[in-house]
Amino acid sequence: MSELHAANPTERVQALLRLTQRLTQLLEEETRLFKARRPQDAIGLQDEKTQLANVYRAEVARTKQDPTRFATAPAPLKTMLRDATQAFHTALSENGHVVNALKVVTEGVVKAIADEAARQRSAPSGYGPGATTPNTPPKGFALAVNRTA
């Protein structure tokens, strides 16, 4: 599904309003889960969120090309859509801030692990006053990161 199914502008506005409200709900739930430090629980939201976002993007693009798509819809309905769109953008902004904060924290943890691994590899070998550090350069190492965390 990449287009809203509507027979007229009123139905189109109603469908876009429902879509926008559902997307907002999904973003708010995802943000809540991220703030609760349970990002793994948000995985179940991704498929629906992606599908709805694609339809939303396509519909917005079509409306920009043809502004008459909503022309004859009732003004109160268009006002509700504007309000829902503003709430969607607010939820999207908050979600973006939370996702960015999680990214920074995750990158910091990965860097700390890598730094500690490098420090342990370059630790002096042997014990006592005659201990030496190896003359061979440290070898690289592999680190796997699970993107779902």
State the Cα–Cα distance between residues 140 and 69, nearest whole angstrom.
58
Look at 116 and 93; give whichever has higher pLDDT: 93
pLDDT at 147: 63
State the Cα–Cα distance between residues 24 and 20, nearest whole angstrom.
6
State the Cα–Cα distance between residues 147 and 72, nearest whole angstrom.
46
pLDDT at 31: 96
Could you tell me the residue range of the domain that residue 62 belongs to? 9-121
* 129 domain residue, yes or no: no
* 25 domain residue, yes or no: yes
- Mean predicted lDDT score pLDDT of the chain: 86
* 54 domain residue, yes or no: yes
147 and 42 Cβ atoms separated by less than 8 Å: no
pLDDT at 50: 95
Q: Count the domains in the chain.
A: 1
State the Cα–Cα distance between residues 89 and 93, nearest whole angstrom.
6
CATH of the domain at 68: 1.20.58
